[in-house]
Every structure is written in structure tokens, then in C-alpha cells.
Amino acid sequence: MLWSLLGSKEDAHNSMVHSYRHGFSGFAAKLTKSQAKKIADLPEVVHVIPDSFYKLATTRTWDYLGLSAANPKSLLHETNMGEQSIIGVIDTGVWPESEVFNDNGFGPVPSHWKGSCESGENFTSSNCNKKLIGAKYFISGFQAENESFNSTESLDFISPRDFDGHGTHVSTIAGGSYVPNISYKGLAGGTVRGGAPRARIAMYKACWYLDDADITTCSSADILKAMDEAMHDGVDVLSISLGSEVPLSDETDIRDGMTTGAFHAVLKGITVVCSGGNSGPDALTVTNTAPWMVTVAATTLDRSFPTPLTLGNNKVILGQAMYTGPELGFTSLVYPENPGNSNESFSGTCEELFLNSNRTMEGKVVLCFTTSPYGGAALRAARYVKRAGGLGVIIARHPGFAIQPCQDDFPCVAVDWVLGTDILLYTRSSGSPVVKIQPSKTLIGQPVGTKVATFSSRGPNSIAPAILKPDIAAPGVSILAATTNTTFIMLSGTSMAAPAISGVVALLKALHRDWSPAAIRSAIVTTAWRTDPFGEQIFAEGSPPKLADPFDYGGGLVNPEKAANPGLVYDLGLEDYILYLCSVGYNETSISQLVGKRTVCSNPKPSILDFNLPSITIPNLKDEVTLTRTLTNVGPLKSVYKVAVEPPLGFQVTVTPETLVFNARTKKVYYKVKVSTKHKINTGFYFGSLTWSDSVHNVTIPLSVRTQILQNYYDEN
């Protein structure tokens, strides 16, 4: 194909970047727009995808989620901690010398593994073992897009070895081996391990450090090649903590490179778990929204790091920090503001502290305020103060933002705006305000509440509003895991939450080898906690904080032990995915070529509301609608389930039948849901739930409904 287009075999060879052979047929090549157009017009071509780039999106996590090795009947013991499962990770590489990849006591590599361990810069096949069973790297797409990249001068390793640390960190969370007595400078101490600590890890490095821009980025061509190889190698789950920019592309999601690869992986029985993005708390920011992906939101743990601040009036305020240095005795405290008789510049905004003269901050602790939802604001404020000779910084910001340790143990303590205002009033009322900063402590359990993290991207889904995203939530704030140079660090992001779900998936796959990716996703979603493990409500941080809803955390907070025995699942197969593709208007020829068989969409086209997800989302209800769902019994052969509905406010929900009966001959039963609105105006989304129960299992899905009397699109008929 390329030969005929470009005119010579040599030009075709030079243009080629990757050839995809295992999960799907295709190639990546360097082409002009006109050449790409000519190929796209060929009848045997499904579509041409322009290359794009993706961003990179523990000691307490597993005990908090109830996944403990102390219980001999736990999921960990039932699955031998996932020893027969293989977790494929697409990321920045791996640091193989880390103790989290030790293979002490491991048995033979699973027989379905067909992969290998590639050698490269500072990495040989001997770096792999029975734990880290595979490592490959893919750089051609990155090099094609970054011609100035010099591989011989780059700080990154042209091999599977990790330079950034992100890949090693997420691998630890998903399947790291037990490593005792780990802490971050004495904080968050305990044993580090992954969700499936005896699962095997295969690393596919597709993300590279770009020295000129000081960023790590990932080419979609390289990601696709990594996914193609992973399908061939025999991984059971793909963990991808990467995401595109928002707003999302206006193309149908099947045309997205990573989404296409995930589609083929799922058809081969591989569950694909992706981070939901770090653009929260704004609505419509969730990424990786394809309905065959498991999209993960991030929550906090029941852990905090209280840091006492003692003011000169003896009032003690508890801030949050990861300060492990010595106590800073009473020190002059300043809020930079114009005293009214100066022509100098002053600013108490954290991002503008550089406007203040050094003498304003030298030898002092500086108070500043920020509205930024990102931890970088605190780090920059600390840099400004330290550079000016300051001794510490107190950052007043909205609650729930991720806490990040400042470099060199410089004291940077976060408080909320109310406490920050209290400190500000003290500085204005005192002639010589002072503050003492004590080292941080670790507090676990109640009264620390669980929250959806501020940065965690939120629904609704901007590409297909009837597909609920995110699917599920897991801890992703201040997660301690391995990084490069055999060290351990704390990181926050949905990048940390996604591998937690990947670890759970690895355990479920070890327990239920015959379950499809959709069945595994359903088990996770329908058994999730809608409260925290202590029964308290989960809040979603933002401005202001609110009770969490499905657009914040999908089905809720993952409950691994319950997911192992869900009773019923909402399953999906190839025909269901074809129904989805038809419902969103993908043409029949492209669907046929994509799925490998002739496809004819019904006329009228099927309703996307009938897609058998473990959720119901109705974004544009005008009057009433009836939809269907099908449940598959994976519990006792003889089971009787009854329905219970929590209808969204102002809606009537009727389920038919109200009782489902399963036996040896009846393993699948469908039911209908009729939803009607009582609202007379356009509304926002309201939320409820639908639960099937047999007194042992509770199979719960979220309901999200919005009334739209006046539709967004004008109908001339």
C-alpha cells in the first residue's frame, strides 16, 4: 500500500514507523496530509488516525479497602495473590532493581505468557525475573514527531529502564511485591505492596522524556504498538495511566488511537484500565471515555498528615503538610501587603510572591492565598520564599487539594481559607506576629473522611453523555510507591488510582478466568461502596465541596472483596459493542472492517440507552423512555432477586419484572426500566440507584437522569 502510494520501496520503508500485526492490522507512517487522504479513501482502510500525544495522568491503600492478607479466606488467599495473572503496564518504563520487583518464592511464569525482555541502554534481559517477566520499549513514533530529539544525549534511557519514575510507581501500586518498613521520611510508614502482590508485571515503555521541553510525553503510535505487543504477549489486564487533553477530540471515540487499541484488547479478553484525568473539579473533563475501558477516578485515603502551627497568641492550628524537618521555633510571620506608605510591589497571592522584595520575606514565615487546584502552586510559593531567604510558607487554599512535600524539607503547610483568614487576622492585629511549625504526624482512620480528590476529572461524558464516566474510584492521593534509584516517593493523581483497579482486576481474573472484561467491570461497579468503608458519606472536593455523585466516582469506591462474588453481572460481547457502534452512527463498512465480519445496523438505529452497562444515564429525557438491561447469574444456580429503586428526585422509575428467577437452565434474564419525568423545565442531572438483591448479594447500578423539554438540537419535524 505504501509502496504504491510513495512510488518506491525505499520511500515506503523510510516512511514506516510501526507495523501492527497482533491485535489488529495496520501501520504507523510519516505521511503528508494529502498522502494520508489518499490512503483514507482506499476501500480496505477503516480509518486514518493522526498521531497525537498523551500526558502522564502502597502502605495504606489495601488495608483501607479491606484487601488484607490477615484473613485466610480473603480474595488475596483465594487467588494466591494473583500469581497466575499478568499485568501489562504502558508507561515510562521500570526500575528493575527496586525491591517491589523481587521474585522470592515465585513459581514458574504463567504458561500463557509469550513475551520477552528486551535489552537496551542500561538494561539487559537479566533484569527480568519471575516477577518482572517482560519489558519492551517503543520510541519510533516519538522520534518521528520530535526530529530534534537526540537519543545519544537524552537523559532518558533508550531501553525499558525508567527515567521519570512514573512507570515504576504505578507498577508498584498494581502488582508490587511486599516490601516492609517503608515510609516517606518517617511518614506513612508500613509495608508497600501492590493490589496483586504475586501477579506478574510486563512493562511496555511508550513515554519518553523530552529534554528541550522538560516534559514526559507519549506518542499514540507508540502506545498502539505497545498495546499490539501486549495482546500478543498474553497479558490479562492493561494498566494505562495516560490521557489526552481536554476538551476531547470531536471525532467518534473509536477513531482515537488508544481507544481503538483498547477495543481490540477487550475483544481478546484483556481488561483495559485507564486513568480518568486530572482536570477536576470541573464538569465534563473526564477522559478515556470509551465504554469498553474501565475509567478510574481518584479519592483520598483515610490518612492525613496534621502539622501543628502555633501562633504567638497561643492558638494552635492544624495544617496539612509532609514536613519532616526539625521544629521551627517561633519565627516572624508576614502576609505581604502594602502597609499604605510604600511604593513597592506587594502580593499575598501564592503565584505572585516573586513580586515581593526579598527583604519582605527574608528570615520569615510567609502566609499566602491561592485558588489554584494544583499542588504546583504550593511548590512554586515555597521556591519563591526559599529563594528570598524565607524560612517557611503557609498556603491557604481550598480544602481537598493534594498535599505535596516541598523539596529539601522546606516547611510548606497547607490550611483552608477559613483558617488562613484566621491567621491573616492575627498578623494584622499583632504588632509582631510569630508562628511555630512542628513536624508533621501521620493520622490513620476515623475521623479522617474519604473524598473524591479535587483534581480528579468529572463527568458527564462529553463525547457520549449516555455512557457514564468515570466507572469507579480508588485511592489516588499521596500514594507511597517505588520510583527510580530504588527509592520510594508519594505521588497523587488518577494515574495512581488506575493501577489500584488494575491490581483488583488481576485478582478477579485469577479467580474467574472465564469472566469477560465487561463482567469484571460490572462486578467492580455493582459492588462498590457508595459510602466510605466506615459507612460515612463520601464528599467530592471542589468549590464548594458536595456529596459525591456518579459523575464524581461512577459506581463508588472499589470494594475488592465484594467484587469477587457479585452474584449477577451486566455482561457485554461483540454484538453489544456493534450495537453501541451503530447507535453512535459509525458507518457499517467501517464497523465490519473493524470487527472482522459483515455488519448491518438496524433501521432505525439501536438506542444507546440499551447498551448493557452497569449504569443508566439518560441525558435528554423529554417525557418518558423505556430501556432494557440483561443480567447474567454468576452466583448460586438457583437464585431469586428482587428490585429496589431509589429514583432520582422528580422522576418515576418502574422496573418490569420486579423479581428475577435464575436456575440451571436460566442464566440470563433481561428486565425493562421505564423512566418518566415530573419536571416541567430543563434541569440538571439528578441521581438515584437501582439494586437487585437476593438477601446475600446487592447488585447496584447508578441512575443519572436529566430532563430536557427543550432539546439542544432543533427538530424541524
98 catalytic residue (yes or no): no
91 catalytic residue (yes or no): yes
Domain boundary among 546, 566, 586: 566
Q: What is the pLDDT of residue 717?
A: 43
Domain boundary among 441, 468, 503: 441
The parts of the chain modelled with pLDDT lower than 50 are 55-57, 250-254, 716-717
Q: Which of 495, 522, 639, 704 is catalytic?
A: 495
The domain that holds 649 is classified in CATH as: 2.60.40.2310
Residues 378, 480, single domain; the answer is no
Query: C-alpha distances in angstroms, 141 versus 50, 63, 147, 493?
Result: 11, 40, 10, 26
How many Å apart are CA 207 and CA 285, to the nearest integer? Answer: 23
The model's pLDDT over 415-452, given as tens digits with 9 standing for 90+, comes to 988 999 999 999 999 989 999 999 999 888 777 789 99
Residues 320, 399, single domain; the answer is yes
Q: What is the pLDDT of residue 250?
A: 36
166 catalytic residue (yes or no): yes
Q: Which of 18, 166, 398, 512 is catalytic?
A: 166
Domains: count for the chain? 5
Side-chain half-sphere exposure of 297, counting CA atoms within 13 A: 39
Q: Per DSSP, which regions of 53-153 are E strands?
A: 53-56, 86-91, 132-137
Residues 130, 171, single domain; the answer is yes
Q: What is the pLDDT of residue 26?
A: 66
Residues 586, 525, single domain; the answer is no
How many Å apart are CA 54 and CA 39, to the nearest integer? Answer: 25
pTM of the model: 0.89
Q: Which of 91, 256, 552, 694 is catalytic?
A: 91
How many Å apart are CA 367 and CA 157, to the nearest integer? Answer: 41
Q: What is the pLDDT of residue 24?
A: 54
Residues 421, 469, single domain; the answer is no
The domain that holds 284 is classified in CATH as: 3.40.50.200
Grid cell locating 435:
508562628
Residues 80, 200, single domain; the answer is yes
The model's pLDDT over 389-404, given as tens digits with 9 standing for 90+, comes to 999 999 998 765 656 6
How many Å apart are CA 571 and CA 164, to the nearest integer? Answer: 38
Residues 314, 291, single domain; the answer is no
What residues make up the domain containing 659? 612-707
Region of 90 (left: φ > 0; alpha: ψ -120 to 50; beta: rest) is beta
Q: What is the pLDDT of residue 587?
A: 81
26 belongs to a structural domain: yes
Side-chain half-sphere exposure of 177, counting CA atoms within 13 A: 18
How many Å apart are CA 481 and CA 165, to the nearest integer? Answer: 10
Residues 495, 628, single domain; the answer is no
Q: What is the pLDDT of residue 302?
A: 86
662 belongs to a structural domain: yes
716 belongs to a structural domain: no
45 belongs to a structural domain: no
